Amino acid sequence: EPEVTQTPSHQVTQMGQEVILRCVPISNHLYFYWYRQILGQKVEFLVSFYNNEISEKSEIFDDQFSVERPDGSNFTLKIRSTKLEDSAMYFCASSVKGLANTGELFFGEGSRLTVL
Amino acid sequence: DQQVKQNSPSLSVQEGRISILNCDYTNSMFDYFLWYKKYPAEGPTFLISISSIKDKNEDGRFTVFLNKSAKHLSLHIVPSQPGDSAVYFCAASVGGANNLFFGTGTRLTVIP
C-alpha cells in the first residue's frame, strides 16, 4: 500500500541551526502539507502546497520556515534558524484532492525534531 | 484558540462494548469533519469523515454523528476491539480551505 515516508525519524540540533525535514508523498497525490505536534498538544497546520506553490499557511509558518518540492518526488520543510519552541513532531501529509474537495490526508510517521 | 475540542483525554471500554468519542467545535463555518486514529510512533490515519450536509455516516464498525445545532460530533465504535486502542483525533475544515483544525485527541483503551 502506498505511503508517505519521512526522513529523518529523529533529529537533534542546536538552537540557531538550520534543519531540513524530508518527505516523499504518495506518487499520484497533488496536495502536500506539513503539520506539527508539540508534545502533549494538538496537531497544528503549518502549510499546504499545490502546483509548486504555497496555497495556505498558518501563523506558525513565519519567515523561518520554507517548503520546497525540488524534484518530482520530494517535499521538504526547512527551518532556517531553529528555536527551542520548534521542538515537535513534524508530520508530512499528502492528498489526491484538496480538502475543499473533501480528500482525506495521508500522513507520514513523523520526524521528531529536538532543539537543544 | 481551540476551535475543535475533545474534552475527554482518555476513555476505557470493555471489548465488545460501544466506544463513544466526543468532539465539540466553535467555528460555525466548519463544513467537513474527520476522525483520525493514531498509534504510537505512527502518523494519524484517516478513519471516517462527514460533510455538514449529513448528520450520520457509517463505515463498518465506525459511525460518525453530527449535530450542527449543538456544534457537536461523535464517533461510535461498535463492537470495540483491543486493536482499536489508540489516540483518536477529531478534525474540521472550512470549505475552500486546505488546512485541518485538530482537537487534542482522546486516548481510547479497549480492555480485553
More confident residue, B93 or B41: B93
Residues 4-43, chain B, touching A (beta carbon < 8 A):
4, 32, 34, 36, 41-43
Look at residue A73 in the predicted model and tell me its pLDDT: 85
Total Cβ atoms within 10 A of residue B1: 6
Confidence of residue A2 (pLDDT cuts 50, 70, 90): confident
Q: Average per-residue pLDDT in chain A?
A: 93
Confidence of residue A67 (pLDDT cuts 50, 70, 90): very high
Has residue A53 got a pLDDT over 90? yes
Contacts of A108 in chain B (CB under 8 A): 43
Contact indicator for B50, B59 with CB cutoff of 8 Å: no
The pLDDT > 90 percentage for chain A reads: 80
| Residue B88 sits at the chain A interface (C-beta within 8 Å) | no
Rounded mean pLDDT of B16-45?
94
Look at residue B2 in the predicted model and tell me its pLDDT: 73
Instruction: Please measure the distance between the N-terminal and C-terminal CA atoms of chain A and give it in whole angstroms.
Output: 37
Nearest CB partner across the interface for A43, out of B49, B95, B102: B102
Q: Which of B23, B32, B51, B98 to mutate to test the interface with A (most CBs of A within 10 A)?
A: B98
B43 and A108: CB-CB below 8 Å?
Answer: yes
Has residue A34 got a pLDDT over 80? yes
Has residue A33 got a pLDDT over 80? yes
Has residue B110 got a pLDDT over 90? yes
**DSSP structure class, residue A101:** G
Cα-only R_g, chain B: 13
Contact indicator for A45, A54 with CB cutoff of 8 Å: no
Has residue A88 got a pLDDT over 90? yes
Look at residue B100 in the predicted model and tell me its pLDDT: 92
Supply the DSSP string of chain B, one letter for each residue.
--SEE---SEEEEETTS-EEEEEEE--TTEEEEEEEEE-TTS--EEEEEEETT-SEEEETTEEEEEETTTTEEEEEESS--GGG-EEEEEEEEETT---PEE---EEEEEE-
Rounded alpha-carbon distances, angstroms, from residue A6 to A13, A115, B30: 17, 18, 30
Q: Average per-residue pLDDT in chain B?
A: 94
Has residue B63 got a pLDDT over 90? yes
Residues 45-84, chain B, touching A (beta carbon < 8 A):
45-46, 49, 51
Confidence of residue A75 (pLDDT cuts 50, 70, 90): very high
Has residue B1 got a pLDDT over 70? no
**Distance (Å, rounded) from C-alpha B32 to C-alpha B25?**
12
Supply the DSSP string of A66-98, one letter for each residue.
EEE--SSS-EEEEESS--GGG-EEEEEEEESS-
Q: Count residue pairs from A and B with Cβ separation < 8 A.
A: 65
A31 and B98: CB-CB below 8 Å?
Answer: yes
Contacts of A45 in chain B (CB under 8 A): 99-101
Total Cβ atoms within 10 A of residue B13: 19
Give the minimum alpha-carbon distance from A48 to chain B in angstroms, rounded to a whole number.
Answer: 7
Cell of A51: 502546483
Look at residue A41 in the predicted model and tell me its pLDDT: 87
A45 and B96: CB-CB below 8 Å?
Answer: no
Rounded mean pLDDT of A20-27?
96
pLDDT in tens, B71-94: 999 999 999 999 999 999 999 998
